[in-house]
């Protein structure tokens, strides 16, 4: 199983994911736009590369998890990017949440070079990344998925192969639509319980044991109650995801009014300078509405 692994994107999610992969790699080559974010990994044995292309030149399998579709496009399709450096027999695994059509294009470009590709967006936030319990939604050929699977198992506890390249991204869009609805429900519940004078910890503990039980109640509601709005997943990135889902929905002739409403509320927070807060900060938008009313 030991191969030379490349990892690009060492943010809140990427850094702990890379560390898990280091346990099974012959060597690990890393690149990140902000070099200092690689310091701890390099100190523990990872090898720094000055460009994404250099990562590909030194690696058998390359993982990417960056911010936005424009970042994915630059890393893969830009000058001296991963596609330019790709060679026969390599495998690339994009774990960014991005446009399905973009990953489909990348897969086709890599196939021309004889390289494989799996789109494998994740869900589970910073907690899942640290604990290697991410849910991973994969798209790609049976052969490419089979090669990727032993490494994906080092990162997640729920791994599904959904079909062709791009299928993982479409599944992630469905995931984000559910999360958006859950986030507004949990946020409104917390504001309501506060207005009713309830003990919020007791309320969350009680309702999480019934039909309302969900990951957001278990993991993010306690952060809200404790006033912790640090990002496990940033508002800026969630707005990006919701925007992709709404664009895809329009292409399908769908109008997702609930998702559009949640995106609008998050955009208000972004405009007020809270784009780098965690998604649990949605409660602030609900509180503001309550005060205005």
Query: Distance between CA atoms of 15 and 109, rounded to whole angstroms?
Result: 27
DSSP state of 277: S
Q: What is the pLDDT of residue 1?
A: 59
The percentage of the chain sitting over the pLDDT mark of 70, rounded to a whole number, equals 98
pLDDT in tens, 77-102: 998 899 999 999 999 999 999 999 99
Average pLDDT of the segment spanning 195-210: 97
Average pLDDT of the segment spanning 201-213: 97
Q: What is the pLDDT of residue 7?
A: 98
Question: DSSP secondary structure string, the chain?
Answer: ---EEEEE--STTHHHHHHHHHTT-SEEEEE-SSGGGGHHHHHTT-EE-SSHHHHHHH-SEEEE--SSHHHHHHHHHSTTSHHHH--TT-EEEE-S---HHHHHHHHHHHHHTT-EEEE--EESHHHHHHHT-EEEEEES-HHHHHHHHHHHTTTEEEEEEEESTTHHHHHHHHHHHHHHHHHHHHHHHHHHHHHTT--HHHHHHHHTTTTT--HHHHHTHHHHHTT----SSBHHHHHHHHHHHHHHHHHTT---HHHHHHHHHHHHHIIIIITTSBGGGHHHHHHHHHHH-
Q: Per-residue confidence at 293, pLDDT binned at 50, 70, 90?
A: low
pLDDT in tens, 44-57: 999 999 999 999 99
Average pLDDT of the segment spanning 200-205: 98
* pLDDT mean across residues, the chain: 95
**End-to-end Cα spacing for the chain:** 59
Token representation of residue 120: 């494998």
Distances (CA, A) of 103 to 69, 93, 132, 178, 253: 9, 10, 24, 22, 22
User: Catalytic residue among 113, 153, 172, 284, which?
Assistant: 172
Residue 289 pLDDT > 80: no
Q: What is the pLDDT of residue 126?
A: 86
Query: Distance between CA atoms of 111 and 52, rounded to whole angstroms?
Result: 19
Residue 291 pLDDT > 80: no
The percentage of the chain sitting over the pLDDT mark of 90, rounded to a whole number, equals 92
Question: DSSP secondary structure string, 207-229?
Answer: HTTTTT--HHHHHTHHHHHTT--
Q: In sequence order, which residues have a C-beta less than 8 Å from that of residue 112 and are 6 or more positions away?
A: none
Q: What is the pLDDT of residue 193?
A: 97
pLDDT in tens, 97-130: 999 999 999 999 999 999 999 999 998 888 899 9
Ramachandran region of residue 73, left (φ > 0), alpha (ψ -120 to 50) or beta? alpha
Average pLDDT of the segment spanning 199-212: 97
Whether 172 sits among the annotated catalytic residues: the reply is yes
Residue 5 pLDDT > 90: yes
The residue with tokens 């399709």 is 77
**Coil, helix or strand at residue 60:** coil
Query: Distance between CA atoms of 63 and 95, rounded to whole angstroms?
Result: 7
Q: What is the pLDDT of residue 80?
A: 85
Residue 152 pLDDT > 70: yes
- Cβ-in-10-Å burial (0-12, 13-18, 19+) of 105 comes to middle
Average pLDDT of the segment spanning 271-280: 97
pLDDT in tens, 208-250: 999 999 999 999 999 999 999 999 889 999 999 999 999 999 9
Q: What is the pLDDT of residue 276?
A: 96
Q: Per-residue confidence at 292, pLDDT binned at 50, 70, 90?
A: low
């Amino acid at each position: 199983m030991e191969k030379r692994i490349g990892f690009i994107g060492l943010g809140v999610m990427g850094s702990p994911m890379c560390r898990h992969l280091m346990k099974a790699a012959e060597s690990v080559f890393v690149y990140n736009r902000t070099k200092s974010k690689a310091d701890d990994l390099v100190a523990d044995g990872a090898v720094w590369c000055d460009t994404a292309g250099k990562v590909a030149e030194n690696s058998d399998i390359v993982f990417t998890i960056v911010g936005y579709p424009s970042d994915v496009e630059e890393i893969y399709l830009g000058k001296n990017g991963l596609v330019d450096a790709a060679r026969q027999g390599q495998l690339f695994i994009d774990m960014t949440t991005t446009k399905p059509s973009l990953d489909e294009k990348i897969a086709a470009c890599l196939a021309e070079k004889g390289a494989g590709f799996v789109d494998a967006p994740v869900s589970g936030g910073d907690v899942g990344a640290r604990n290697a319990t991410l849910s991973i939604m994969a798209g790609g050929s049976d052969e490419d998925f089979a090669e990727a699977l032993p490494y994906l198992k080092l990162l997640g506890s729920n791994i599904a192969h959904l079909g062709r390249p791009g299928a993982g991204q479409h599944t992630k869009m469905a995931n984000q639509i559910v999360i958006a609805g859950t986030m507004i429900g949990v946020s409104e519940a917390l504001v309501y319980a506060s207005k009713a004078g309830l003990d919020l910890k007791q309320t969350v503990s009680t309702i999480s044991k019934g039909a309302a039980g969900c990951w957001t109640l278990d993991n993010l509601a306690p952060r809200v109650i404790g006033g912790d709005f640090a990002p496990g997943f940033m508002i800026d990135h969630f707005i990006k995801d919701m925007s992709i889902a709404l664009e895809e929905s329009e292409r399908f002739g769908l109008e997702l009014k609930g998702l559009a409403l949640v995106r609008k509320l998050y955009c208000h927070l972004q405009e007020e300078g809270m784009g780098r807060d965690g998604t649990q900060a949605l409660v602030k938008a609900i509180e503001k509405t309550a005060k205005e009313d």
